[in-house]
A and B are shown apart, each in its own frame.
Chain A
Amino acid sequence: MAKKTAGKTAKKKKKTRKKPESAIGPRVVSDEEEKAVVKLRKRAKNKRKESRPAVLLSGNEACVMGALAAGVGFFAGYPITPATEIAELLSQELPARGGTFIQMEDEISSMAAIIGASIAGIKAMTATSGPGFSLMQENLGFSIIAEIPCVVVNVMRGGPSTGTPTSPSQGDVMQARWGTHGEHSIIVLSPNSVEEAYTLTVKAFNLSEKYRTPVILLLDEVIAHMREKIHLPSEEDTPVFNRVKPTVPPEWYEPYEDTPSLVPPMAAFGDGYRYHITGLVHDTHGFPTNKQNEIKAHLLRLRSKIEKNRREIVMVESEMIDDARIAVFAYGSVSRAARRAIVLARSTGRKAGLVRPKTLWPFPEVAIEQLAAHVDVIIVPEMNLGQIVREVERKAAGKCRVVPLNRIDGKLISPEEILREILEV
């Protein structure tokens, strides 16, 4: 699926509908009004975008542009295919912007260094692939428990171990969820285009700053290396969120206070708030604790700050789903093959539709519950032996059939394979 003409893009956008993770919440305007407003806003945004020059970028390059737009000031990493271009590009881009690039001795220290930079108040990221992502897991857990914002890009390649360094894969979906030890929640985003590699990188930074947590961007090798013509959004269309800093006098500052937002303000080292940061379970002052009530309160808040904000964090897009009896649930590059298959299926009269999670974790549970209630079957194609499909099965809970479609030979899942499955089910 290559570049599109402006007209086609607009048509596609019309059919695309953002599905809210949950429909709860006060409604001040009617559905119709809201839809009209959203449509107008989208049209204006597209117009602004199209007036900007088009650029031809790879997914990795778009990720770098997104990071710069979001305000990244520090990158630490260790070279690895197929993520290396991100480091190479940032090593050139950061100095002129007053930022810092450093090539560390391994991915363990890379992860550590970005956490350190973030503690000193700078937005920080790293980029890696499977073997390096494995090495990052311990310190990833540190950034979760110590609530240090940062962005980790994992361009997935075939594993385990050195695996197939240049082949696409979606084998790290569960590692991203559970790779670091212990009970925790995590945010994982998955773009399916070069443009989305840009927008979701910005989103990753924003979510990490807002919720004080690492955010993982799972690219697959195809999205990372594919080139597409995109119009980079303007600054106006790229809202940037910066972490909330404390405003209280230092004596009052409780760095891990249980605030109503569940996310305590974060002071940088050097800001005048001298406090303690540790990977041990800690009390609201940041000091290690063994008290049962404090352990529980701490771990539950870490979970709640993500789970209770699913409405903002969980992004799902659906297409051609309103009358669909067969849904394809696909993410990353596979979702593009799925879309093509659905269009082909519709031309033969099959009522198929696409549901595409941009957020893999927290898992779009409500979207699947709603979907399972009105389709006969959900097909889940993945470049692994079935990872996200288990979550789909769990949430569909027998209300509809769930059919996996898997491939692990280093080749993409083709539209034809998905079409065959659609026609068979």
Chain B
Amino acid sequence: MQKTDLLYKYLRTDKKFPHLWCPGCGNGILMGGLIRAIDRMELDKDNVVVVSGIGCSGRLPVYVDFNTLHTTHGRALAFATGIKLANPDLVVFVIMGDGDATAIGGNHLIHMARRNIDINAIVINNNVFGMTGGQYSPTTPSGAKSTTSVLGNLERPFDICKLAMGAGTSWVARSTVYHVRRLTDLICKAVEHDGFSMLEVTSYCPTNFGRRNKMGTAPKVMRWIKDNSIPVDKAKDMTPEEIGDKLVTGIFVDRDDPEYCTLYSELRIKEGYDPHEHEHGK
């Protein structure tokens, strides 16, 4: 399909454009990956739900032509839980920022991991609270500057993928906004996975993070991401010292754990409910 066809097919081109993201922001690249993946999987638009929290990343749903829900800060996964349990036929994506997913929403993230509901979570990690003007987030590197750590960040950052793995997520992967093709592949894999999937996307906020940390222009950071990423297969044979602060990308976990909605529908049948007798859900 022509690039522009894809735009008209999946974006709300006549409604909410131009978008509010800054030039050089990684959010748009992820949005492109998302619609390419949905197109490749031939998902029915009426069956796709995109949920987000609050942040620059949280603005994504407004631009895409699906069933879209822009919730409260940090709570997107909890709203999505209600949607998916009420109608398991829907394909649910949850787009979160690093602050959204691991600061205010950290509790929901670990419990999603534990429950294994078939929801596809994508965290756009730009290492900062972008929307509120550049305060440090739980993924801001130690020593980095932000408006609330002008003197250097004293806290240690989360590794979001390790956090998700530790909590029991059955599918965990990382990609970046540089590796667009790989990113699209991984989104497809996340959808195919029957269970909770967590994809961290290393992104970049030139306006509120790059500027303060003298990281240079967006293209320069893209090059940095490219030069500093290593696929997980390669990283396997490297020592932690060799890996250092490099970005390990790829699929870390892909496990076939029992999915919650399936377990619940089995429970209903055990309790005497006949799904064929009743019209679905409604």
A interface, CB within 8 angstroms of B: 73-74, 76, 95-98, 100, 102, 104-106, 108-110, 112-122, 124, 138-139, 142, 268-272, 274-280, 285, 287-288
Q: Is B234 an interface position by the 8 A CB rule?
A: no
| CB nearest neighbor in A for B264 | A100
Q: Is B86 an interface position by the 8 A CB rule?
A: yes
Q: State the CA gap A285–B77 with chains docked (Å).
A: 24
B interface, CB within 8 angstroms of A: 15-16, 45-47, 49, 51, 61-62, 65-72, 75, 77-87, 89-90, 107-108, 111, 264, 267-268, 270-273, 275, 278, 281-282
The listed residue (A105, A120, A138, A279) touching B86 by CB distance below 8 A is A120
Cβ contact within 8 Å between A96 and B80 = no
Q: List 5 A-B contacts (CB under 8 A).
A: A95-B273, A104-B78, A116-B81, A119-B82, A270-B67
**What are the residues of chain B within 8 A of A102 when measuring CB–CB?**
81, 85
Q: State the CA gap A225–B97 with chains docked (Å).
A: 43
| CB nearest neighbor in B for A245 | B282
What 4 A-B pairs have minimum CB-CB distances, sorted nearest first? A116-B82, A109-B78, A112-B78, A120-B86
Query: Nearest chain B CB to A306's CB is how many angstroms away?
Result: 22
**What are the residues of chain A within 8 A of B68 when measuring CB–CB?**
274-277
The listed residue (A76, A271, A279) touching B70 by CB distance below 8 A is A279
Q: State the CA gap A276–B87 with chains docked (Å).
A: 18
Cβ contact within 8 Å between A280 and B70 = yes
Number of A-B contacts (CB under 8 A): 148
Query: Nearest chain B CB to A101's CB is how many angstroms away?
Result: 9
Query: Nearest chain A CB to B87's CB is how many angstroms away?
Result: 4
Query: Nearest chain A CB to B132's CB is how many angstroms away?
Result: 15
Cβ contact within 8 Å between A113 and B79 = yes
The listed residue (A268, A279, A285, A288) touching B72 by CB distance below 8 A is A279
**What are the residues of chain B within 8 A of A76 when measuring CB–CB?**
81-82
Cβ contact within 8 Å between B273 and A120 = no
Q: When A106-B107, A269-B90, A279-B71 are in contact, do A97 and B273 touch as well, CB less than 8 Å?
A: yes
Cβ contact within 8 Å between A120 and B90 = yes
Q: State the CA gap A245–B85 with chains docked (Å).
A: 21
| CB nearest neighbor in A for B65 | A274
The listed residue (B66, B72, B83) touching A119 by CB distance below 8 A is B83
Query: Nearest chain B CB to A71's CB is how many angstroms away?
Result: 10
Q: State the CA gap A112–B51 with chains docked (Å).
A: 12
Cβ contact within 8 Å between B85 and A117 = yes
Cβ contact within 8 Å between A274 and B45 = yes
Cβ contact within 8 Å between B273 and A96 = yes
Cβ contact within 8 Å between A142 and B72 = yes
**What are the residues of chain A within 8 A of B45 when measuring CB–CB?**
274
Cβ contact within 8 Å between B268 and A95 = yes
| CB nearest neighbor in A for B70 | A278
**What are the residues of chain A within 8 A of B275 when measuring CB–CB?**
98
Cβ contact within 8 Å between A117 and B82 = yes
The listed residue (B16, B78, B267, B281) touching A108 by CB distance below 8 A is B78
Cβ contact within 8 Å between B15 and A285 = yes
Cβ contact within 8 Å between B83 and A269 = yes
Query: Nearest chain A CB to B273's CB is how many angstroms away?
Result: 5
The listed residue (B62, B79, B89, B270) touching A270 by CB distance below 8 A is B89
Q: State the CA gap A269–B80 with chains docked (Å).
A: 11
Q: State the CA gap A105–B80 with chains docked (Å).
A: 14
**What are the residues of chain B within 8 A of A139 when measuring CB–CB?**
72, 75
The listed residue (B80, B86, B89, B90) touching A100 by CB distance below 8 A is B86
Cβ contact within 8 Å between A113 and B82 = yes
Cβ contact within 8 Å between B82 and A108 = no
Q: State the CA gap A356–B156 with chains docked (Å).
A: 58
Q: State the CA gap A20–B256 with chains docked (Å).
A: 60
Most chain A C-beta atoms within 10 Å of own C-beta, residue among B70, B78, B86, B275: B86
**What are the residues of chain A within 8 A of B84 when measuring CB–CB?**
116
Query: Nearest chain B CB to A123's CB is how many angstroms away?
Result: 10
Q: State the CA gap A268–B61 with chains docked (Å).
A: 17
Q: When A95-B271, A121-B282 are in contact, do A269 and B67 touch as well, CB less than 8 Å?
A: yes
Q: State the CA gap A110–B66 with chains docked (Å).
A: 25
Q: State the CA gap A96–B86 with chains docked (Å).
A: 15
Cβ contact within 8 Å between B83 and A120 = yes
